[in-house]
């Protein structure tokens, strides 16, 4: 089922808003948090986001000479590691719809010595500006839940994958334990906005981020959406009790 509702509204956190306004609202959130994004990621997850990303890199099977697309790549954590793995014969494209995030990521990577085999593209995941059958691997980490029409985005990703190419979706998901769920909810809706207020002077953006996690499809639903987009061998791996899940699928 498409994210676009019959009454032409969609969710922004727990609110319903017109479909054509969601991109602007999400952009406002990430313009606001871009400068503190890395710091807040470390604080919010206790640094565990680095482990989730490392597992994603390990599961990717990336190798020299490949072409990789990192969608919603933000500040470039995955891009930096992929650039090292594909080497000078390969290429990594860091794509993000938000120009503030893209600029932070570009500056961070260039200042850190990652430059030669990385390109930067401002792009909407729902209509990727790339030719069919271009990429060996596509990743989208903590970005799919912010996309207005997730089904369209998955179809777009499937289109630009090479046959045999792999899509990897790393995203917050649904916890598998009642006690963990209660603790996670308390943290998300009480602690997280206060951290956002203290560190980034923006409680509302972090309240939205917590709400957007709850509105994201569960593990089985996202797997079915990937299959509906034309991917095969779709599966998911829960991390940290289902707080995060890594979904993978292959283009036939």
Q: Is 124 annotated as a binding residue?
A: yes
Cα(127)–Cα(153) distance, integer angstroms: 7
Contact between residue 52 and residue 170 where contact means Cβ atoms under 8 Å apart: yes
Cα(31)–Cα(98) distance, integer angstroms: 7
Q: Is 70 annotated as a binding residue?
A: no
Closest to 226 measured CA to CA, from 126, 141, 114, 150: 150
119-152 b/e (C-beta count within 10 Å ≥ 16 → b): ebeebbbbebebeeebbbbbbbbbbbbbbbbbbb
Q: Is 96 annotated as a binding residue?
A: yes
Cα(235)–Cα(223) distance, integer angstroms: 6
Q: Is 79 annotated as a binding residue?
A: no
Q: How far is CA 14 from CA 10, 199, 213, in A?
A: 10, 24, 10
Residues belonging to the binding site for S-adenosyl-L-methionine are: 75, 96, 124-125
Residues belonging to the binding site are: 75, 96, 124-125
């Amino acid at each position: 089922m498409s994210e676009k509702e019959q009454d032409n509204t969609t969710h922004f956190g727990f609110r319903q808003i017109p479909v054509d306004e969601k991109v602007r609202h999400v952009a406002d959130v990430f313009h606001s948090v871009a400068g503190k994004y890395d710091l807040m990621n470390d604080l919010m997850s206790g640094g565990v986001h680095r482990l989730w990303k490392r597992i994603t890199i390990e599961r990717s099977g990336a190798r020299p000479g490949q072409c990789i697309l990192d969608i919603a790549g933000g500040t470039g954590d995955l891009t930096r590691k992929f650039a090292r793995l594909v080497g000078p014969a390969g290429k990594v494209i860091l794509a993000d719809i938000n120009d503030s995030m893209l600029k932070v990521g570009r500056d961070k990577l260039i200042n850190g010595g990652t430059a030669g085999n990385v390109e930067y593209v401002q792009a909407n995941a729902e209509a990727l500006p790339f030719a069919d059958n271009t990429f060996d691997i596509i990743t989208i980490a903590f970005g799919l839940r912010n996309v207005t029409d997730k089904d369209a985005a998955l179809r777009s990703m499937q289109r630009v994958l090479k046959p045999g190419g792999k899509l990897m979706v790393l995203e917050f998901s649904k916890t598998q334990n009642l006690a963990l769920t209660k603790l996670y909810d308390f943290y998300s809706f009480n602690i997280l906005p206060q951290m956002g207020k203290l560190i980034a002077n923006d409680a509302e953006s972090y309240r939205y981020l917590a709400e957007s996690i709850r509105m994201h499809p569960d593990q089985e639903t996202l797997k079915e959406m990937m299959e509906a987009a034309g991917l095969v061998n779709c599966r998911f791996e829960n991390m940290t009790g289902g707080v995060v899940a890594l979904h993978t699928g292959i283009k036939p």
